[in-house]
Every structure is written in C-alpha cells, then in structure tokens.
Amino acid sequence: MRPKTLEEFVGQEHIIGEGKMLRVAIKSGQLPSMIFWGPPGVGKTTLARILANELKANFIEISPTTAGVKDIKATVESANAKFFGQKELTILFVDEIHRFSKSQQDYLLPHVEKGTLILIGATTENPSFEIISPLLSRSKVYKFNPISADQMKGVLTKALDFIKYEKVELNLDQESKDFLVDLSNGDVRNILNSIDTLIRTGVKNADLAYIKKILQEKPLKYDRQGDAHYDTISAFIKSMRASDTDAALYYLARMVDSGEDPLFIARRIVIFASEDIGISDTNALAIANAVFRACETIGYPECQINLAHGTVYMCQAPKDRRANDAYFKALDDAKEFGNLEIPLEIRNAPTKLMKDLGYGKGYEKYPKNKDTKANYLPERLQGKLYLYR
C-alpha cells in the first residue's frame, strides 16, 4: 500500500502541491537537506523514498536505534566516493533523528554543508529542541500534518480494493468505515493496521460492534515528553484564562486519560491562581493549593475529581493579572538599574552609629495621615507606578 510516486502520495499538499517549494526543488533537481517533522503515519519515510526515486539518487536509510558511529562513517565515506566521482546523488534518510546524540549530529554537519549528501531527517519531536542549531540552520524544516478524514476515506477505499484484488473478503458498512477513519487519528498506519487486524481474525462481515470489540478504544496521541504535552497544557491554561469551562475540562480530560502526572496539572493550576486571578479572588490560591495537596495525597483515579473542581473554579473566577504584571515590571527595573540606594528612612537601624547616620530617621510605622502616600522607592524610581489600581 505504500505509494511509489508523488501522484500516489496522500496528504501534505502544503509541501508537495503544485508550485510548492519542495515540488519545485524536485523538478529542478536541487534538493536541500531537510527535516520532516510530524506525527507518525503521515508519510515522512514514504516521501523521502519517493524523492530519492524521482531524483534517481542513491538512498541510504538508517535508524539511530540500530546504527552506530561506524555505520554513519561508512555511509558518509560511500557518499563521498560517489560525490567526488560525480556518479550519483546520495540521500541519507535518518528515521527518528531526534535520537541521534549531539556528537552524531555534529559528525554529519560538514558533509551536509559541503553537499556530499542530502540529509533527510524524520522526527516526531520539535526539531527546535532536538536538532543541533548548526544542522538545523542548514536544513529546511517541513511540518507534516495529520491526514484529513476525507483523504483517509480514500486510503481506506484503496486498501479495501487492494485486499479484494488479493481475493480476501472483508465487508464493512458505512458506519464501520466512518469509525475506522475516526479511529485512525490522521495516521495512515493506524487504519491499515486496523484492516490487517480484522483480516487476521477471519471475519468476512465486520459490523461496528465487532470492530469495537476487536480494536478496543481509540488511543490518544499524547507523549508526556513531546509536543502534545506542551500543546495540551497550553490549551488548558488558555481556556481557563478565557473562562471557557467546557474547553478547559476537555483538555483536562485528555491529559488525565493519557496518564499525565496529576501534580504537573495541579502545579499549573496553582500558578494560574496567582498569575491570572490574583487579587480579584484571593480564595483561588487557597483552593489551588488544596487541589495540589489532594492530588499529592490520594492520586489517581480519585484526584481527577479534585482537578476538575479546581479547573471549574479557576474558569469561573474573575481574572486580574495586575499583581503578576506589576511584579515583572519591578523586576525589569531591578535588573536594569541594579542596587539603587534604598532611602535612609526605611533602612534598618540596629546600632547607634547607624541611627546617627540617619538610618530609619523619620519613619512612621503607622502614618497618622492615611491619605499621605509613602514613597519608599529609590530616588531614581520616584513616582513609578507598577500596580495600577
């Protein structure tokens, strides 16, 4: 079922559609080194193989899980021989390139720079964090998207036609097909594996109930160290900030169902209570801390209820970022101006000498005139307003 040509390739029109940069590069024969970044099952490996075929290039595929330094060196030496002999172009495809160590990536750098080989690295992780800057700056990053539902229906139709041609009987009604498309989560490999699993059970007419029984639940795409981790917590916080209770609960549910650490979620709620709610509702911090404590003491599954309680409270509480914003304005001044002289009036005066020097002189602990605003800022910052009332 793997596509062999660009015409057969499904998805990623923003990369290889007519007039797009990568298609233009293929036609010109001038392919840059590239990083293919995206979720599993969206065509990263397939497209790399198609590019090599289109350019009639020597294609070498290695994986960090099986390739050692010797393998990498042998690949580079082979590419060098072909490059200097001007026999053919070499494309080195590194699957899961984020698993390469810094030194392994460094080793590839001069050969990528010279054009000895064209590197295509595939990764599910954000290359900004996983690929060394020099290699990243010499490569074009292409972001792969999940396959759309309409495109996945096309994949399913082709797969069913293929097995029919192979004299394998598997009949699916429309409801079952729609379920398989939804189950795939934009991952072509998922839908093909699902069909393969159904075939292996020997069933000829698979209804929705049978499919659900065999394939069980739809797995959530969530890597606690990857982009889904940061994207989901970001969506959770922004939903609370916008007082969108339903959205916040949905993102909370996704994190909980995927096994996210409850203390990580609770920690964000505690931060949110001061950062976004602040002085508009001082109970928010107390409740957030109580949620954190509950997660700490009872854990899953029960603490998901505490997390939901805290989430709803934070969503519905009034928002006031003045304390947060005022503090960071003050921090900017502290960094910019350094150790400005503290007014003598509010300095500590534990000795007679210090009192004689004026330390603490004129300080009123409780000013009689309540309307008179004390100004205890250093002279350079007199009149500054960090917190706007």
Tell me if 211 is assigned to some domain. Answer: yes
Which has the higher per-residue pLDDT, 18 or 66? Answer: 18
- Residue carrying the six token digits 């070498």: 60
pLDDT band at 57 (very low <50, low <70, confident <90, very high): confident
pLDDT in tens, 62-121: 877 666 667 677 777 766 655 444 556 788 899 888 888 888 888 888 888 887 788 999
**pLDDT per position as a tens digit, 284-341:** 999 999 999 999 888 888 999 999 999 999 999 999 999 999 999 999 999 888 888 8
Task: From 71, 11, 77, 20, select the one nearest 46 (Cα to Cα).
Answer: 11
Q: Return the closest-CA partner of residue 382 out of 347, 349, 342, 348.
A: 342
Say whether pLDDT at 244 is over 70.
yes
Residues 194 and 115 in one domain: no
Residues 133, 20 within the same domain: yes
Q: Give the tokens for residue 351.
A: 């000795």
Residue 367: give the domain boundaries.
338-381
CATH, residue 94: 3.40.50.300
Which residue, of 187, 215, 243, is where some domain finishes? 215
- Percent of residues, the chain, with pLDDT higher than 70: 90
The pLDDT score that the predictor gives to residue 272 is 96
Cβ–Cβ under 8 Å, residues 41 and 190: yes
Q: Residue 60 pairs with which residues in a beta bridge? A: 92
366 or 283, greater pLDDT: 283
pLDDT at 11 over 80: yes
Q: Residue 197: its pLDDT value, please?
A: 87
State the Cα–Cα distance between residues 107 and 101, nearest whole angstrom. 10
Last residue of a domain, one of 143, 170, 191: 143
Q: Tens digit of pLDDT for each residue in 204-237?
A: 888 888 888 788 655 555 555 556 778 889 999 9
Q: What is the pLDDT of residue 68?
A: 64
Please indicate, yes or no, if residue 127 is contained in any of the structural domains.
Answer: yes
If we measure between CA atoms, which residue out of 237, 3, 22 comes closest to residue 120? 22
Classify residue 327: in a domain, yes or no: no
Percentage of the chain exceeding pLDDT 90: 28
Structurally, how many domains does the chain consist of? 4
- Same domain? For 231 and 211 the reply is no
The residue among 79, 111, 143 that closes a domain is: 143
Mean of the per-residue pLDDT values for the chain? 85
Tell which residue, 270, 236, 267, 255, has the closest CA to residue 300: 255
Bigger pLDDT: 33 vs 216: 33
Q: What are phi and psi of 134, to 5 degrees?
A: -60, -40
Reading the block at residue 148, the tokens are 């759309």
367 & 350 share domain: yes
Confidence of residue 373 (pLDDT cuts 50, 70, 90): low
The residues near 307 (Cβ < 8 Å, ≥ 6 apart) are 252, 256, 262, 265, 266, 269, 291, 295
**How much is the pLDDT for 85?**
45
